[in-house]
Amino acid sequence: MGETVVDLLPEVTWVGVLIKAVLILAIISALAGFGTFIERKVLAFMQRRLGPMHVGPYGLLQIAADGIKLFTKEDIIPQNANKFIFKIAPVITAATAFIALSAVPVFPDFTIPEFIPVLGGVFVPSIASDLNIGILFVLGMMAAGLYGPLLAGMSQANKWGIIGAARTAVQFLSYEVVTGLSILAPIMLVGSLSFVDFNNYQHDEGVWMMFYQPVAFVLFLIAGFAETNRTPFDLLEHEAEVVSGYATEYSGMRWGMFFIGEYANMITISVIASIVFMGGYNPETMLFGFSIGWLLIMLKIAFFFFLMLWVRASWPHIRPDQLMWLCWKVLMPLALINILITALVVMV
């Protein structure tokens, strides 16, 4: 047998994977901070306001100001709280979000230039851990992230926190099922759980998966909003009802870790939607002799991120009973019907 594409790739070493992991932590953490700035500016534009304007040019230094505030703000732990669980809950939220990102391509492969001491010539892969069950791993880690808000609300001896924790369990567990079922139909077509195989399948077919599976695409997007606690499904910390829900008693960087995890999950959902449903990355896409494949996938990811902000500015909150009704009486039957039809098509 001849050489495969995998055989021709540069050797991936533990040094390259470690560098990739550090870059994911640094870049995604920075993007989470920048995402809050972008969200405030986008919402301000849509609501005829200015948003952050006074700290630095165009308010850009507001990001640094918020970071300094979080790191220096007093860290308060309620007297009757379970202190160990109270402290570990934000870490679970942030850690599971970053672990999920280890199995998705965040930016392209590259080799460190030879002139850089010690690390020169090291190949850094686009995926820190290229698993053949990549989609299952990512969805599993995002599901494990529900323990963060759940334990946070239960540990703080606050009735609003308890309500937020209960909503966490109900919302995340319900919409995890919809997320899994929505993506099952595309998996049946591709016959793999690997992001690379999804990417290659759409290139070979010449059609994005969203046109083969429009129902699955819409279901995945709706469930993605619920999984990331975004409007109109942000019932875990609904200010009008539960003050701040599971995060009521949190302050400082512990509070910040919840929202770093939230924005990291928003990026993860955007990456999955871009790769699984919108064609992923095609290195053969050229413009003026230059490959623009990675530029295009970055634009797709940015579009989905912007869509979450757009929906927040446009849609009101829904009630918890409406959330459950939508999940179990609308989205779940649609997902099952879509799987049945896809199975018949695949068999034929």
List per-residue pLDDT tens for the chain, 348 residues long. Answer: 444 333 444 556 777 778 878 888 888 878 888 888 899 999 999 988 888 888 888 888 888 898 888 888 888 888 888 999 999 999 999 889 888 888 887 666 777 777 777 777 777 777 777 777 888 888 888 888 888 989 998 998 888 888 888 888 888 888 989 999 999 999 999 988 888 888 889 888 888 999 999 999 999 999 999 988 888 888 887 777 767 788 888 888 888 888 888 888 898 899 899 989 998 887 777 777 677 777 888 899 899 999 999 998 888 888 888 989 999 999 999 999 999 999 999 887
Quote the pLDDT of residue 2: 41
pTM: 0.87
- Of 101, 78, 86, give the one whose Cα is nearest residue 150: 86
Domain limits for position 325:
78-104+131-347
The verdict on residue 169 lying in a domain is yes
In a domain, 30, yes or no: no
Residue at 18 is within a domain = no
Indicate the number of domains in the chain: 1
Mind giving me the DSSP string for 31-60?
A: HHHHHHHHHHHHHHHHTT---S-SSSGGGT
C-alpha to C-alpha distance for 340 and 347, rounded to whole angstroms = 11
Spatial separation of the C-alpha atoms in residues 24 and 127, rounded to whole Å: 10
- Helices 214-227 and 332-347 cross at an angle (nearest 10°) of 140
Is residue 309 assigned to a domain?
yes
Is residue 243 domain-resident?
yes
According to the model, what pLDDT value does residue 181 have? 92
Please give the full DSSP string across 97-165, using - where no structure is assigned. HHHHHTTS--S--EE--TTSTTTTT-EE-SSSS--TTHHHHHHHHHHHTTHHHHHHHHHS--HHHHHHH
198 in a domain, yes or no?
yes
Instruction: For residue 139, tell me if it sits in a domain.
Output: yes
Contact status, residue 104 vs residue 20, Cβ threshold 8 Å: no
The pLDDT value recorded for residue 206 is: 85
Q: Is residue 54 part of a domain?
A: no
